[in-house]
Every structure is written in structure tokens, then in C-alpha cells.
Amino acid sequence: DTAVSQTPKYLVTQMGNDKSIKCEQNLGHDTMYWYKQDSKKFLKIMFSYNNKELIINETVPNRFSPKSPDKAHLNLHINSLELGDSAVYFCASSQGSAEEQFFGPGTRLTVL
Amino acid sequence: GENVEQHPSTLSVQEGDSAVIKCTYSDSASNYFPWYKQELGKGPQLIIDIRSNVGEKKDQRIAVTLNKTAKHFSLHITETQPEDSAVYFCAASLSSGYSSASKIIFGSGTRLSIRP
């Protein structure tokens, strides 16, 4: 059984479009995250939710809007896509803070 | 804020030899230090972690050491095998002030290659 799943795995789109990435975890964890990994493999946290409540919001353009309909899901919606948004986006979950984070397989976003 | 530096960025070792990756962190409040392995096309996966009340932890061929005074921590892989080839990330956990939030700051990664 997949612990943390993301859809889609690949996303190719034009500049200016709006797109969403979905994430689901079946681990029963309370906390979920979105990370961005750039072409140099650098991993940077974007958002963190605990029990559907936003608790970490890094300096991310407001074109990025996370939504957590329930504890098991954390979706990422991106408006007006830009070339610089091209990256791999990872969803992760953990049980509490300072604990192991389980990562999804990633979504490779390419903006043309 | 917290800053984690990781060295080297690339490392190539002969199969069977040892590999060492070093990290430093800036915030003395950090108390959780995980190491993640990322294989090609996959998400990072935890391989070992250490908390600030422990100086060393070992799990089979993998060991991590922590020097809180110097704010250094290192990953040691002994008897390296081809399947150890991957990108390795160190990280430090810094509380964001929320009771349930703990922001993990990742190092820049080390691409480890095992030569047959």
C-alpha cells in the first residue's frame, strides 16, 4: 500500500495556466507538508498543515495556495504559472513534529 | 533562521570503502537531525536520525555522530555497496514556535557514487 501518494507524477503546462497537485496519506499522520526541489536538488519547505490548520508558511508567492480538506489530504493549487515554478514538488507527512517525514514520489512540474 | 551546510556535494568511493558526509548547523536550539536518502526518481527516505541528547547512533553499516558544541554532525557508511549510490541529505529540525510545528531545514545534498 502506498503511504504517501501524489497525482499527477508529471505535469507539463504553459505559462499563465492554473494547475493543482493532489496528495493523500494513509498513515494516519497529523501533519502534512509541501516541499519544492529545484534542478540542483535543493529541498525547501513551502507549507505545513497540522490537522487541516496551516502552521508553516514560508516565503512563497501567494500564487501558491495549499488546501487541506481533511487530515489525510493536502492539495497544492498554483495560479498564473511561471517558468521559475518548474521543479519537483514533494508532499510529505509525519506524526507530530521532529519525527520521521514520509515523502511521496514527487510531481515533476514543467512550465513552458 | 537555521542554516544547514553539507559537504561534499559529490563523493565517489570504491565499493567496499567507507563514505563520510559532514554537515554543520547554525541554530543551537535544533535538537533533531535526520538523514535522508533519495534515489533517482523517488522521494527522500529516512535512513537514520539522531537527537541532541545522543552523541552517536549506529544501524548496521550506517552511523551518525553529533557534536553539539561544534554544531557538527556526520553520516558514516561502511562497506559501501552499489545500492548505496544516491543523493543524501542531512537536516536539522527547528521549532517554528507552534506547539505542533517543527520545520526541517535540509542541507544541499551529497551525490554519492559507488565505483565497482
Q: Please, are residues B9 and B113 in contact by the beta-carbon 8 Å criterion?
A: no
pLDDT value at position B104? 87
Chain B residue with Cα closest to A51: B100
Residue A109 has pLDDT above 70, yes or no: yes
Q: Residues B33-70: pLDDT tens digits?
A: 999 999 999 999 999 999 888 899 999 999 999 999 99
Q: How confident is the model at residue B100 (pLDDT cuts 50, 70, 90)?
A: low
Compute the average pLDDT of residues B73-96.
92
Q: Note whether A48 contacts B32, CB cutoff 8 Å.
A: no
Distance CA A63, CA A75 (A): 14
Residue B95 has pLDDT above 60, yes or no: no
pLDDT value at position B101? 59
Percent of chain B topping pLDDT 90:
79
Which of A97, A100, A108 to substitute to test the interface with B, most B CBs within 10 Å? A97
Identify all chain A residues contacting B6, using CB atoms and an 8 Å cutoff: none
Q: Note whether A98 contacts B31, CB cutoff 8 Å.
A: yes
3-state secondary structure of A107: strand
Q: How confident is the model at residue B103 (pLDDT cuts 50, 70, 90)?
A: confident
Residue B27 has pLDDT above 70, yes or no: yes
Q: Please, are residues A47 and A57 in contact by the beta-carbon 8 Å criterion?
A: yes
Distance CA B45, CA A101 (A): 8
Q: Note whether B106 contacts A43, CB cutoff 8 Å.
A: yes
Which of B102, B105, B111 to substitute to test the interface with A, most A CBs within 10 Å? B102
What distance, in Å, lies between the first and last C-alpha atoms of chain B?
41
pLDDT value at position B43? 96
Q: Note whether A4 contacts B32, CB cutoff 8 Å.
A: no
Which of B100, B108, B110 to substitute to test the interface with A, most A CBs within 10 Å? B100
Q: Please, are residues B11 and B112 in contact by the beta-carbon 8 Å criterion?
A: yes
Name the helix (H) or strand (E) containing A88. strand A87-94
Distance CA A36, CA A69 (A): 21
Q: Note whether A43 contacts B42, CB cutoff 8 Å.
A: no
Q: Note whether B106 contacts A48, CB cutoff 8 Å.
A: no
pLDDT value at position A53? 85
Distance CA B70, CA B99 (A): 27
What distance, in Å, lies between the first and last C-alpha atoms of chain A?
34
pLDDT value at position A1? 67
